[in-house]
Structure 1
Protein backbone atom coordinates (compact mmCIF):
# COMPACT_ATOMS: atom_id res chain seq x y z
CA UNK A 1 0.00 0.00 0.00
CA UNK A 2 2.86 2.41 0.84
CA UNK A 3 4.42 1.75 -2.57
CA UNK A 4 1.15 2.62 -4.35
CA UNK A 5 0.85 5.84 -2.33
CA UNK A 6 4.43 6.78 -3.22
CA UNK A 7 3.70 6.20 -6.90
CA UNK A 8 0.53 8.35 -6.75
CA UNK A 9 2.37 11.05 -4.81
CA UNK A 10 5.18 11.01 -7.37
CA UNK A 11 2.71 11.32 -10.26
CA UNK A 12 0.88 14.12 -8.45
CA UNK A 13 4.12 16.04 -7.86
CA UNK A 14 5.19 15.58 -11.50
CA UNK A 15 1.76 16.82 -12.64
CA UNK A 16 2.09 19.91 -10.44
CA UNK A 17 5.56 20.60 -11.83
CA UNK A 18 4.28 20.21 -15.40
CA UNK A 19 1.34 22.56 -14.74
CA UNK A 20 3.72 25.11 -13.19
CA UNK A 21 5.96 24.93 -16.27
CA UNK A 22 2.94 25.44 -18.56
CA UNK A 23 1.81 28.44 -16.50
CA UNK A 24 5.31 29.86 -16.73
CA UNK A 25 5.31 29.52 -20.51
CA UNK A 26 1.83 31.07 -20.79
CA UNK A 27 2.77 33.96 -18.50
CA UNK A 28 5.98 34.58 -20.47
CA UNK A 29 3.88 36.12 -23.28
CA UNK A 30 0.95 37.80 -21.51
CA UNK A 31 2.57 41.24 -21.70
CA UNK A 32 3.94 41.01 -25.26
CA UNK A 33 2.75 44.29 -26.73
CA UNK A 34 5.38 45.92 -28.95
CA UNK A 35 5.66 49.62 -28.10
CA UNK A 36 6.46 50.81 -31.62
CA UNK A 37 3.68 49.72 -33.95
CA UNK A 38 3.65 52.40 -36.66
CA UNK A 39 4.32 51.18 -40.21
CA UNK A 40 5.65 47.90 -38.89
CA UNK A 41 3.16 45.30 -40.18
CA UNK A 42 1.79 44.34 -43.58
CA UNK A 43 -0.62 41.70 -42.20
CA UNK A 44 -2.57 41.61 -38.96
CA UNK A 45 -3.97 38.17 -38.13
CA UNK A 46 -6.71 38.19 -35.49
CA UNK A 47 -7.59 34.79 -34.06
CA UNK A 48 -11.28 34.17 -33.51
CA UNK A 49 -13.11 33.67 -30.27
CA UNK A 50 -16.68 33.44 -29.02
CA UNK A 51 -19.65 35.21 -30.64
CA UNK A 52 -22.73 35.97 -28.53
CA UNK A 53 -26.26 34.85 -29.50
CA UNK A 54 -27.00 38.45 -30.63
CA UNK A 55 -24.20 38.06 -33.26
CA UNK A 56 -21.90 40.43 -31.38
CA UNK A 57 -18.35 39.49 -30.38
CA UNK A 58 -18.05 38.47 -26.73
CA UNK A 59 -15.89 40.68 -24.49
CA UNK A 60 -12.81 38.50 -24.97
CA UNK A 61 -13.26 38.70 -28.76
CA UNK A 62 -13.72 42.48 -28.60
CA UNK A 63 -10.46 42.70 -26.63
CA UNK A 64 -8.67 41.03 -29.55
CA UNK A 65 -10.42 43.21 -32.13
CA UNK A 66 -9.70 46.44 -30.23
CA UNK A 67 -6.03 45.50 -30.06
CA UNK A 68 -6.08 44.86 -33.83
CA UNK A 69 -7.73 48.26 -34.37
CA UNK A 70 -4.91 49.93 -32.46
CA UNK A 71 -2.35 48.27 -34.74
CA UNK A 72 -4.40 48.88 -37.91
CA UNK A 73 -4.69 52.63 -37.25
CA UNK A 74 -0.92 53.09 -37.32
CA UNK A 75 -0.44 50.60 -40.18
CA UNK A 76 -2.98 51.97 -42.70
CA UNK A 77 -1.79 49.77 -45.59
CA UNK A 78 -1.95 46.51 -43.67
CA UNK A 79 -4.50 43.81 -44.41
CA UNK A 80 -6.49 42.45 -41.50
CA UNK A 81 -7.11 38.72 -41.63
CA UNK A 82 -9.76 37.53 -39.21
CA UNK A 83 -10.03 33.83 -38.65
CA UNK A 84 -12.76 31.75 -37.08
CA UNK A 85 -15.52 29.42 -38.19
CA UNK A 86 -19.00 28.93 -36.75
CA UNK A 87 -19.08 26.96 -33.53
CA UNK A 88 -22.12 24.84 -32.71
CA UNK A 89 -23.13 27.38 -30.06
CA UNK A 90 -22.62 30.44 -32.25
CA UNK A 91 -25.20 32.11 -34.52
CA UNK A 92 -22.67 33.07 -37.24
CA UNK A 93 -19.05 32.42 -38.13
CA UNK A 94 -16.64 34.21 -35.82
CA UNK A 95 -14.95 35.85 -38.83
CA UNK A 96 -18.27 37.30 -40.04
CA UNK A 97 -19.16 38.89 -36.70
CA UNK A 98 -15.59 40.11 -36.24
CA UNK A 99 -15.57 41.72 -39.71
CA UNK A 100 -18.84 43.48 -38.93
CA UNK A 101 -17.38 44.82 -35.69
CA UNK A 102 -14.27 46.16 -37.44
CA UNK A 103 -16.39 47.83 -40.11
CA UNK A 104 -18.50 49.59 -37.45
CA UNK A 105 -15.22 50.94 -36.06
CA UNK A 106 -14.26 52.49 -39.40
CA UNK A 107 -12.16 49.77 -41.04
CA UNK A 108 -12.77 49.54 -44.77
CA UNK A 109 -14.22 46.25 -46.02
CA UNK A 110 -11.40 46.17 -48.60
CA UNK A 111 -8.81 45.80 -45.83
CA UNK A 112 -10.51 42.80 -44.24
CA UNK A 113 -10.00 39.18 -45.28
CA UNK A 114 -12.33 36.66 -43.67
CA UNK A 115 -11.22 33.09 -43.05
CA UNK A 116 -14.41 31.42 -41.78
CA UNK A 117 -13.63 27.70 -41.68
CA UNK A 118 -11.16 27.32 -38.77
CA UNK A 119 -12.32 25.62 -35.60
CA UNK A 120 -9.12 25.78 -33.53
CA UNK A 121 -5.88 27.73 -33.23
CA UNK A 122 -3.90 25.45 -35.51
CA UNK A 123 -6.54 25.81 -38.25
CA UNK A 124 -6.69 29.59 -37.70
CA UNK A 125 -3.02 29.70 -38.59
CA UNK A 126 -2.88 27.11 -41.37
CA UNK A 127 -6.03 28.34 -43.17
CA UNK A 128 -4.91 31.99 -42.90
CA UNK A 129 -1.30 31.41 -43.95
CA UNK A 130 -2.02 32.00 -47.65
CA UNK A 131 -3.29 35.53 -46.88
CA UNK A 132 -0.27 36.63 -44.87
CA UNK A 133 2.06 38.97 -46.73
CA UNK A 134 5.25 40.58 -45.50
CA UNK A 135 5.66 41.39 -41.82
CA UNK A 136 2.87 39.80 -39.81
CA UNK A 137 1.57 40.18 -36.28
CA UNK A 138 -0.75 37.67 -34.62
CA UNK A 139 -3.30 39.23 -32.28
CA UNK A 140 -4.92 37.05 -29.66
CA UNK A 141 -5.73 37.04 -25.96
CA UNK A 142 -2.83 37.49 -23.56
CA UNK A 143 -3.25 34.01 -22.04
CA UNK A 144 -3.43 32.44 -25.53
CA UNK A 145 -0.43 34.11 -27.17
CA UNK A 146 2.26 31.60 -26.17
CA UNK A 147 0.35 28.67 -27.72
CA UNK A 148 -0.52 30.68 -30.84
CA UNK A 149 3.12 31.59 -31.45
CA UNK A 150 4.26 28.04 -30.65
CA UNK A 151 1.85 26.62 -33.26
CA UNK A 152 2.78 29.38 -35.73
CA UNK A 153 6.44 28.25 -35.54
CA UNK A 154 5.35 24.63 -36.07
CA UNK A 155 3.45 25.72 -39.20
CA UNK A 156 6.33 27.92 -40.40
CA UNK A 157 4.27 31.11 -40.00
CA UNK A 158 6.78 33.84 -39.29
CA UNK A 159 5.22 36.53 -37.13
CA UNK A 160 5.37 38.74 -34.10
CA UNK A 161 2.69 38.52 -31.44
CA UNK A 162 0.45 41.05 -29.74
CA UNK A 163 -1.21 40.08 -26.46
CA UNK A 164 -4.67 41.62 -26.23
CA UNK A 165 -5.40 42.44 -22.60
CA UNK A 166 -8.22 40.19 -21.36
CA UNK A 167 -11.11 41.90 -19.61
CA UNK A 168 -12.93 39.48 -17.36
CA UNK A 169 -15.91 40.51 -15.25
CA UNK A 170 -16.19 37.14 -13.51
CA UNK A 171 -12.89 36.18 -11.81
CA UNK A 172 -13.75 32.48 -11.99
CA UNK A 173 -13.40 32.71 -15.77
CA UNK A 174 -9.65 33.35 -15.38
CA UNK A 175 -9.29 29.87 -13.89
CA UNK A 176 -11.23 28.41 -16.80
CA UNK A 177 -9.25 30.26 -19.47
CA UNK A 178 -5.86 29.37 -17.97
CA UNK A 179 -6.91 25.78 -17.22
CA UNK A 180 -8.13 25.40 -20.80
CA UNK A 181 -4.86 26.88 -22.02
CA UNK A 182 -2.78 24.33 -20.09
CA UNK A 183 -4.80 21.57 -21.76
CA UNK A 184 -4.47 23.26 -25.16
CA UNK A 185 -0.74 23.63 -24.71
CA UNK A 186 -0.42 19.97 -23.75
CA UNK A 187 -2.32 18.98 -26.89
CA UNK A 188 -0.07 21.28 -28.96
CA UNK A 189 3.09 19.73 -27.46
CA UNK A 190 1.89 16.18 -28.05
CA UNK A 191 0.15 16.51 -31.43
CA UNK A 192 1.55 19.78 -32.84
CA UNK A 193 -1.99 21.08 -33.34
CA UNK A 194 -4.98 22.38 -31.41
Structure 2
Protein backbone atom coordinates (compact mmCIF):
# COMPACT_ATOMS: atom_id res chain seq x y z
CA UNK A 1 0.00 0.00 0.00
CA UNK A 2 1.52 3.35 -1.11
CA UNK A 3 0.28 6.17 1.13
CA UNK A 4 2.27 8.72 -0.91
CA UNK A 5 0.34 7.79 -4.03
CA UNK A 6 -2.96 7.97 -2.14
CA UNK A 7 -2.02 11.39 -0.77
CA UNK A 8 -1.08 12.75 -4.21
CA UNK A 9 -4.27 11.31 -5.66
CA UNK A 10 -6.35 12.95 -2.92
CA UNK A 11 -4.71 16.35 -3.49
CA UNK A 12 -5.17 16.08 -7.26
CA UNK A 13 -8.80 15.05 -6.81
CA UNK A 14 -9.64 17.92 -4.44
CA UNK A 15 -7.92 20.53 -6.64
CA UNK A 16 -9.66 19.14 -9.71
CA UNK A 17 -13.05 19.13 -7.99
CA UNK A 18 -12.57 22.76 -6.96
CA UNK A 19 -11.60 23.72 -10.52
CA UNK A 20 -14.62 21.90 -11.99
CA UNK A 21 -16.93 23.66 -9.55
CA UNK A 22 -15.38 27.08 -10.29
CA UNK A 23 -15.37 26.57 -14.07
CA UNK A 24 -18.90 25.15 -14.41
CA UNK A 25 -20.41 27.69 -12.01
CA UNK A 26 -19.69 30.40 -14.58
CA UNK A 27 -21.74 28.59 -17.23
CA UNK A 28 -25.40 29.32 -17.97
CA UNK A 29 -26.07 25.58 -17.71
CA UNK A 30 -23.58 24.49 -15.01
CA UNK A 31 -24.79 20.92 -14.23
CA UNK A 32 -22.07 20.74 -11.58
CA UNK A 33 -23.11 17.31 -10.25
CA UNK A 34 -22.64 15.61 -13.64
CA UNK A 35 -19.19 17.08 -14.26
CA UNK A 36 -18.03 16.37 -10.72
CA UNK A 37 -19.05 12.73 -11.25
CA UNK A 38 -17.10 12.63 -14.52
CA UNK A 39 -14.02 14.04 -12.79
CA UNK A 40 -14.34 11.53 -9.93
CA UNK A 41 -14.50 8.58 -12.34
CA UNK A 42 -11.62 9.87 -14.48
CA UNK A 43 -9.39 10.51 -11.46
CA UNK A 44 -10.15 7.11 -9.95
CA UNK A 45 -9.39 5.30 -13.22
CA UNK A 46 -6.13 7.25 -13.53
CA UNK A 47 -5.15 6.27 -9.98
CA UNK A 48 -5.90 2.59 -10.59
CA UNK A 49 -4.11 2.61 -13.96
CA UNK A 50 -0.95 4.08 -12.38
CA UNK A 51 -1.12 1.45 -9.63
CA UNK A 52 -1.37 -1.29 -12.24
CA UNK A 53 1.61 0.05 -14.19
CA UNK A 54 3.72 0.20 -11.05
CA UNK A 55 2.97 -3.44 -10.21
CA UNK A 56 3.35 -4.61 -13.80
CA UNK A 57 -0.20 -5.96 -14.08
CA UNK A 58 -2.91 -5.15 -16.59
CA UNK A 59 -6.15 -6.35 -15.00
CA UNK A 60 -7.66 -2.89 -15.36
CA UNK A 61 -7.66 -3.30 -19.13
CA UNK A 62 -10.83 -5.41 -18.81
CA UNK A 63 -13.07 -2.68 -17.30
CA UNK A 64 -11.30 0.04 -19.34
CA UNK A 65 -12.02 -1.85 -22.56
CA UNK A 66 -15.68 -2.20 -21.63
CA UNK A 67 -15.84 1.48 -20.69
CA UNK A 68 -14.36 2.36 -24.08
CA UNK A 69 -16.83 0.06 -25.85
CA UNK A 70 -19.73 1.68 -23.99
CA UNK A 71 -18.56 5.22 -24.81
CA UNK A 72 -18.02 4.32 -28.48
CA UNK A 73 -21.48 2.77 -28.76
CA UNK A 74 -23.14 5.60 -26.83
CA UNK A 75 -21.67 8.47 -28.82
CA UNK A 76 -22.27 6.64 -32.08
CA UNK A 77 -25.98 6.35 -31.27
CA UNK A 78 -27.32 7.44 -27.88
CA UNK A 79 -30.77 5.93 -28.44
CA UNK A 80 -29.93 2.23 -28.28
CA UNK A 81 -30.96 -0.02 -25.40
CA UNK A 82 -27.75 -2.03 -25.78
CA UNK A 83 -25.89 0.98 -24.36
CA UNK A 84 -27.55 0.32 -21.02
CA UNK A 85 -26.42 -3.32 -21.17
CA UNK A 86 -22.84 -2.29 -21.97
CA UNK A 87 -22.81 0.19 -19.10
CA UNK A 88 -24.13 -2.36 -16.59
CA UNK A 89 -21.61 -4.98 -17.77
CA UNK A 90 -18.87 -2.37 -17.30
CA UNK A 91 -20.06 -1.64 -13.74
CA UNK A 92 -20.17 -5.37 -12.93
CA UNK A 93 -16.70 -5.95 -14.39
CA UNK A 94 -15.32 -2.91 -12.59
CA UNK A 95 -16.69 -4.23 -9.30
CA UNK A 96 -15.00 -7.61 -9.86
CA UNK A 97 -11.77 -5.82 -10.75
CA UNK A 98 -11.88 -3.82 -7.49
CA UNK A 99 -12.24 -7.08 -5.53
CA UNK A 100 -9.22 -8.56 -7.31
CA UNK A 101 -7.27 -5.34 -6.78
CA UNK A 102 -8.07 -5.28 -3.05
CA UNK A 103 -7.00 -8.92 -2.68
CA UNK A 104 -3.69 -8.25 -4.45
CA UNK A 105 -2.75 -4.83 -3.04
CA UNK A 106 -4.80 -4.29 0.15
CA UNK A 107 -5.26 -0.71 -1.07
CA UNK A 108 -7.13 1.32 1.57
CA UNK A 109 -8.82 3.50 -1.06
CA UNK A 110 -10.15 0.50 -2.99
CA UNK A 111 -11.24 -1.05 0.30
CA UNK A 112 -13.20 2.09 1.18
CA UNK A 113 -14.98 2.09 -2.17
CA UNK A 114 -15.91 -1.57 -1.81
CA UNK A 115 -17.07 -1.04 1.78
CA UNK A 116 -19.52 1.63 0.65
CA UNK A 117 -20.69 -0.60 -2.22
CA UNK A 118 -21.07 -3.55 0.17
CA UNK A 119 -23.28 -1.54 2.53
CA UNK A 120 -25.52 -0.58 -0.39
CA UNK A 121 -25.61 -4.17 -1.66
CA UNK A 122 -26.51 -5.56 1.76
CA UNK A 123 -29.26 -2.99 2.15
CA UNK A 124 -30.75 -3.96 -1.22
CA UNK A 125 -30.32 -7.68 -0.49
CA UNK A 126 -31.99 -7.50 2.93
CA UNK A 127 -34.75 -4.98 2.21
CA UNK A 128 -34.81 -4.69 -1.58
CA UNK A 129 -37.93 -6.65 -2.55
CA UNK A 130 -39.92 -5.78 0.56
CA UNK A 131 -38.86 -2.15 0.38
CA UNK A 132 -39.73 -2.02 -3.32
CA UNK A 133 -43.21 -3.44 -2.70
CA UNK A 134 -43.87 -0.95 0.11
CA UNK A 135 -42.61 1.93 -2.05
CA UNK A 136 -44.80 0.86 -4.99
CA UNK A 137 -47.94 0.72 -2.82
CA UNK A 138 -47.11 4.12 -1.32
CA UNK A 139 -46.45 5.62 -4.74
CA UNK A 140 -49.68 4.21 -6.18
CA UNK A 141 -51.66 5.86 -3.35
CA UNK A 142 -49.98 9.22 -4.02
CA UNK A 143 -50.60 8.97 -7.77
CA UNK A 144 -54.26 8.01 -7.33
CA UNK A 145 -54.77 11.01 -5.06
CA UNK A 146 -53.22 13.46 -7.52
CA UNK A 147 -53.89 12.01 -10.98
CA UNK A 148 -56.74 10.42 -12.91
CA UNK A 149 -57.53 6.74 -12.29
CA UNK A 150 -56.42 5.56 -15.72
CA UNK A 151 -54.56 2.31 -16.40
CA UNK A 152 -51.41 4.30 -17.20
CA UNK A 153 -51.48 5.69 -13.65
CA UNK A 154 -52.06 2.28 -12.04
CA UNK A 155 -48.84 0.61 -13.23
CA UNK A 156 -47.03 0.84 -9.88
CA UNK A 157 -50.08 -0.65 -8.14
CA UNK A 158 -50.25 -3.52 -10.66
CA UNK A 159 -46.54 -4.22 -10.24
CA UNK A 160 -46.85 -4.13 -6.44
CA UNK A 161 -49.69 -6.69 -6.56
CA UNK A 162 -47.74 -8.96 -8.93
CA UNK A 163 -44.65 -8.88 -6.69
CA UNK A 164 -46.80 -9.54 -3.62
CA UNK A 165 -48.38 -12.58 -5.28
CA UNK A 166 -44.93 -13.82 -6.30
CA UNK A 167 -43.63 -13.40 -2.75
CA UNK A 168 -46.60 -15.20 -1.17
CA UNK A 169 -46.76 -18.01 -3.74
CA UNK A 170 -43.09 -18.88 -3.20
CA UNK A 171 -43.93 -20.36 0.21
CA UNK A 172 -46.57 -22.67 -1.33
CA UNK A 173 -44.31 -24.04 -4.07
CA UNK A 174 -42.32 -26.09 -1.56
CA UNK A 175 -45.43 -28.21 -0.86
CA UNK A 176 -45.83 -29.14 -4.54
CA UNK A 177 -44.09 -32.01 -6.34
CA UNK A 178 -40.59 -31.02 -7.44
CA UNK A 179 -41.42 -31.18 -11.15
CA UNK A 180 -44.37 -28.82 -10.65
CA UNK A 181 -42.12 -26.42 -8.74
CA UNK A 182 -39.67 -26.45 -11.64
CA UNK A 183 -42.50 -25.74 -14.09
CA UNK A 184 -43.68 -22.77 -12.04
CA UNK A 185 -40.23 -21.18 -12.26
CA UNK A 186 -41.23 -19.96 -15.74
CA UNK A 187 -42.95 -17.00 -14.10
CA UNK A 188 -40.08 -15.76 -11.88
CA UNK A 189 -37.54 -16.53 -14.62
CA UNK A 190 -39.52 -14.39 -17.06
CA UNK A 191 -39.75 -11.64 -14.45
CA UNK A 192 -35.98 -11.82 -13.98
CA UNK A 193 -35.49 -11.39 -17.73
CA UNK A 194 -37.78 -8.36 -17.82
CA UNK A 195 -36.03 -6.95 -14.74
CA UNK A 196 -32.64 -7.14 -16.47
CA UNK A 197 -34.08 -5.43 -19.56
CA UNK A 198 -35.66 -2.77 -17.32
CA UNK A 199 -32.34 -2.24 -15.54
CA UNK A 200 -30.66 -1.68 -18.91
CA UNK A 201 -33.42 0.73 -19.93
CA UNK A 202 -33.28 2.62 -16.63
CA UNK A 203 -29.49 2.92 -16.72
CA UNK A 204 -29.34 4.39 -20.20
CA UNK A 205 -32.37 6.60 -19.55
CA UNK A 206 -30.65 8.12 -16.51
CA UNK A 207 -27.37 8.58 -18.41
CA UNK A 208 -29.25 10.23 -21.28
CA UNK A 209 -30.56 12.88 -18.88
CA UNK A 210 -27.06 14.40 -18.84
CA UNK A 211 -27.06 15.04 -22.56
CA UNK A 212 -25.59 18.49 -23.32
CA UNK A 213 -26.36 19.60 -26.90
CA UNK A 214 -24.10 22.23 -28.43
CA UNK A 215 -25.32 25.78 -28.84
CA UNK A 216 -25.41 25.52 -32.63
CA UNK A 217 -28.97 24.32 -33.15
CA UNK A 218 -31.20 25.48 -35.99
CA UNK A 219 -34.41 23.88 -34.69
CA UNK A 220 -35.88 22.64 -31.42
CA UNK A 221 -38.74 20.19 -31.94
CA UNK A 222 -41.17 20.46 -29.03
CA UNK A 223 -43.22 17.27 -28.70
CA UNK A 224 -46.92 17.78 -28.04
CA UNK A 225 -49.14 16.33 -25.32
CA UNK A 226 -52.84 16.47 -24.44
CA UNK A 227 -54.51 19.86 -23.90
CA UNK A 228 -56.58 20.94 -20.91
CA UNK A 229 -60.25 21.37 -21.83
CA UNK A 230 -59.21 20.70 -25.41
CA UNK A 231 -57.59 24.11 -25.92
CA UNK A 232 -55.12 25.04 -23.15
CA UNK A 233 -51.56 23.90 -22.59
CA UNK A 234 -51.35 21.51 -19.62
CA UNK A 235 -48.68 21.93 -16.91
CA UNK A 236 -46.84 18.88 -18.29
CA UNK A 237 -46.80 20.31 -21.81
CA UNK A 238 -45.84 23.75 -20.50
CA UNK A 239 -42.75 22.18 -18.92
CA UNK A 240 -41.67 20.87 -22.33
CA UNK A 241 -42.13 24.27 -23.95
CA UNK A 242 -40.36 26.03 -21.08
CA UNK A 243 -37.39 23.67 -21.49
CA UNK A 244 -37.15 24.55 -25.18
CA UNK A 245 -37.48 28.27 -24.42
CA UNK A 246 -34.71 28.03 -21.82
CA UNK A 247 -32.36 26.44 -24.38
CA UNK A 248 -33.44 29.09 -26.91
CA UNK A 249 -32.26 31.84 -24.56
CA UNK A 250 -29.08 30.00 -23.53
CA UNK A 251 -28.00 29.58 -27.15
CA UNK A 252 -28.80 33.20 -27.99
CA UNK A 253 -26.70 34.42 -25.07
CA UNK A 254 -23.83 32.10 -25.98
CA UNK A 255 -23.81 32.44 -29.80
CA UNK A 256 -26.11 35.40 -30.59
CA UNK A 257 -28.14 33.10 -32.84
CA UNK A 258 -31.41 31.50 -31.73
CA UNK A 259 -32.94 28.23 -32.94
CA UNK A 260 -36.49 28.19 -34.26
CA UNK A 261 -39.07 26.40 -32.13
CA UNK A 262 -40.97 23.73 -34.05
CA UNK A 263 -44.19 22.94 -32.20
CA UNK A 264 -45.29 19.42 -33.14
CA UNK A 265 -48.70 18.02 -32.24
CA UNK A 266 -51.96 17.32 -34.04
CA UNK A 267 -55.55 17.58 -32.92
CA UNK A 268 -57.03 14.75 -30.88
CA UNK A 269 -60.67 13.72 -31.05
CA UNK A 270 -61.33 15.48 -27.73
CA UNK A 271 -59.40 18.66 -28.59
CA UNK A 272 -60.81 21.88 -30.05
CA UNK A 273 -57.55 23.01 -31.64
CA UNK A 274 -54.30 21.27 -32.64
CA UNK A 275 -51.78 20.92 -29.84
CA UNK A 276 -49.14 22.75 -31.90
CA UNK A 277 -51.36 25.83 -32.19
CA UNK A 278 -51.91 25.96 -28.42
CA UNK A 279 -48.18 25.45 -27.90
CA UNK A 280 -47.38 28.35 -30.22
CA UNK A 281 -49.78 30.63 -28.34
CA UNK A 282 -48.12 29.67 -25.06
CA UNK A 283 -44.61 30.32 -26.40
CA UNK A 284 -45.68 33.73 -27.74
CA UNK A 285 -47.11 34.56 -24.30
CA UNK A 286 -43.66 33.75 -22.87
CA UNK A 287 -41.99 36.33 -25.10
CA UNK A 288 -40.88 34.25 -28.09
CA UNK A 289 -41.37 36.15 -31.39
CA UNK A 290 -44.05 34.57 -33.56
CA UNK A 291 -41.64 34.59 -36.50
CA UNK A 292 -39.36 32.21 -34.56
CA UNK A 293 -42.07 29.55 -34.16
CA UNK A 294 -43.01 26.85 -36.66
CA UNK A 295 -46.13 24.69 -36.44
CA UNK A 296 -46.55 21.02 -37.36
CA UNK A 297 -50.19 20.15 -36.65
CA UNK A 298 -50.74 16.78 -38.34
CA UNK A 299 -48.96 14.28 -36.08
CA UNK A 300 -50.75 11.96 -33.67
CA UNK A 301 -47.80 9.86 -32.42
CA UNK A 302 -44.20 10.52 -31.40
CA UNK A 303 -43.00 8.85 -34.59
CA UNK A 304 -45.17 11.18 -36.66
CA UNK A 305 -43.88 14.13 -34.59
CA UNK A 306 -40.40 13.29 -35.82
CA UNK A 307 -41.36 12.35 -39.37
CA UNK A 308 -43.48 15.42 -40.13
CA UNK A 309 -41.07 17.76 -38.34
CA UNK A 310 -38.25 16.39 -40.49
CA UNK A 311 -40.21 17.25 -43.63
CA UNK A 312 -40.55 20.86 -42.47
CA UNK A 313 -36.88 21.17 -41.48
CA UNK A 314 -35.71 19.56 -44.75
CA UNK A 315 -37.79 22.02 -46.77
CA UNK A 316 -36.42 25.04 -44.88
CA UNK A 317 -32.79 23.93 -44.71
CA UNK A 318 -32.12 21.48 -47.55
CA UNK A 319 -28.38 22.11 -47.20
CA UNK A 320 -28.44 20.60 -43.70
CA UNK A 321 -29.15 21.64 -40.13
CA UNK A 322 -28.72 20.83 -36.46
CA UNK A 323 -31.77 19.96 -34.37
CA UNK A 324 -32.74 18.77 -30.91
CA UNK A 325 -36.11 17.88 -29.40
CA UNK A 326 -37.71 18.74 -26.06
CA UNK A 327 -39.98 16.54 -23.98
CA UNK A 328 -40.33 15.39 -20.38
CA UNK A 329 -37.21 13.76 -18.94
CA UNK A 330 -38.78 10.29 -18.71
CA UNK A 331 -39.81 10.41 -22.39
CA UNK A 332 -36.71 11.65 -24.20
CA UNK A 333 -34.97 8.26 -24.56
CA UNK A 334 -37.92 6.58 -26.29
CA UNK A 335 -38.52 9.74 -28.33
CA UNK A 336 -34.90 9.44 -29.47
CA UNK A 337 -35.60 5.89 -30.67
CA UNK A 338 -38.47 7.23 -32.79
CA UNK A 339 -36.18 10.00 -34.07
CA UNK A 340 -33.82 7.29 -35.32
CA UNK A 341 -36.70 5.49 -37.03
CA UNK A 342 -37.71 8.73 -38.77
CA UNK A 343 -34.06 9.41 -39.74
CA UNK A 344 -33.93 12.58 -37.65
CA UNK A 345 -30.45 13.26 -36.29
CA UNK A 346 -31.42 14.85 -33.00
CA UNK A 347 -30.83 14.38 -29.29
CA UNK A 348 -33.29 15.26 -26.56
CA UNK A 349 -33.44 17.67 -23.65
CA UNK A 350 -35.79 16.73 -20.82
CA UNK A 351 -37.94 18.91 -18.63
CA UNK A 352 -38.39 18.27 -14.92
CA UNK A 353 -41.13 15.88 -13.80
CA UNK A 354 -42.54 15.59 -10.28
CA UNK A 355 -40.86 12.69 -8.45
CA UNK A 356 -44.11 10.95 -7.49
CA UNK A 357 -45.03 10.70 -11.18
CA UNK A 358 -41.72 9.22 -12.37
CA UNK A 359 -42.21 5.53 -11.36
CA UNK A 360 -45.43 5.23 -13.37
CA UNK A 361 -43.95 7.26 -16.21
CA UNK A 362 -40.81 5.13 -16.51
CA UNK A 363 -42.85 1.92 -16.31
CA UNK A 364 -45.07 3.21 -19.10
CA UNK A 365 -42.03 4.09 -21.22
CA UNK A 366 -40.51 0.69 -20.52
CA UNK A 367 -43.65 -1.16 -21.59
CA UNK A 368 -43.83 0.94 -24.76
CA UNK A 369 -40.21 0.05 -25.58
CA UNK A 370 -40.96 -3.65 -24.99
CA UNK A 371 -43.73 -3.44 -27.59
CA UNK A 372 -41.37 -1.69 -30.01
CA UNK A 373 -39.28 -4.91 -29.97
CA UNK A 374 -41.99 -7.42 -29.05
CA UNK A 375 -40.74 -10.17 -31.40
CA UNK A 376 -37.27 -10.11 -29.85
CA UNK A 377 -38.65 -10.35 -26.31
CA UNK A 378 -41.20 -12.99 -27.28
CA UNK A 379 -38.36 -15.16 -28.63
CA UNK A 380 -36.39 -14.67 -25.41
CA UNK A 381 -39.34 -15.64 -23.21
CA UNK A 382 -40.09 -18.56 -25.52
CA UNK A 383 -36.51 -19.77 -25.13
CA UNK A 384 -36.76 -19.52 -21.34
CA UNK A 385 -40.05 -21.44 -21.39
CA UNK A 386 -38.58 -24.22 -23.56
CA UNK A 387 -35.55 -24.64 -21.30
CA UNK A 388 -37.70 -24.80 -18.16
CA UNK A 389 -40.15 -27.20 -19.85
CA UNK A 390 -37.27 -29.54 -20.70
CA UNK A 391 -36.02 -29.27 -17.12
CA UNK A 392 -39.54 -30.14 -15.92
CA UNK A 393 -39.59 -33.30 -18.06
CA UNK A 394 -36.19 -34.35 -16.74
CA UNK A 395 -37.31 -33.70 -13.16
CA UNK A 396 -40.54 -35.65 -13.71
CA UNK A 397 -38.83 -38.77 -15.09
CA UNK A 398 -35.49 -38.72 -13.28
CA UNK A 399 -36.10 -36.61 -10.15
CA UNK A 400 -36.25 -38.16 -6.71
Which 10-residue stretch deviates more, 102-111 or 49-58? 49-58
The question of whether the paired residues in 2 share the 8 Å contact of 1:149 and 1:161 is answered with: yes
Which position in structure 2 is the counterpart of 1:126?
307
Please, which of 260, 275, 298 is the counterpart of residue 117 of structure 1?
A: 298
Q: Indicate yes or no: 2:358 matched with 1:174.
A: yes
Structure 1 spans left out of the alignment, 5+ residues: none
Please, which of 263, 274, 278 is the counterpart of residue 82 of structure 1?
A: 263
Which position in structure 1 is the counterpart of 2:346?
159
Indicate the RMSD between aligned Cα atoms, in angstroms. Answer: 2.1
Which 10-residue stretch deviates more, 22-31 or 65-74? 22-31
TM-superposed deviation, 1:24: 1.9
Q: Indicate yes or no: 2:227 matched with 1:51.
A: yes
Q: Indicate yes or no: 2:204 matched with 1:25.
A: yes
In structure 2, what is the Cα distance between the partners aligned to 1:129 and 1:16? 35
Change in Cα spacing, 1:147 to 1:54, as seen in structure 2 (3 Å) is closer
Please, which of 60, 79, 94 is the counterpart of residue 236 of structure 2?
A: 60
TM-score, normalised to structure 1, is 0.85
Q: Return the structure number with greater helix share.
A: 2
Q: Indicate yes or no: 2:362 matched with 1:185.
A: no
Q: Deviations over 1:86-145 (max 9, x none)?
A: 223434321111011011112222221111121111110001101224111111111111
TM-superposed deviation, 1:54: 6.5
Please, which of 287, 290, 303 is the counterpart of residue 106 of structure 1?
A: 287
Whichever of the two has the greater Rg, that structure is 2
Q: Return the structure number with greater strand share.
A: 1
TM-score, normalised to structure 2, is 0.43
The question of whether the paired residues in 2 share the 8 Å contact of 1:96 and 1:116 is answered with: yes
Structure 2 spans left out of the alignment, 5+ residues: 1-179, 376-400
Q: Which has the higher contact order (CA 8 A, sep 6+)?
A: 1
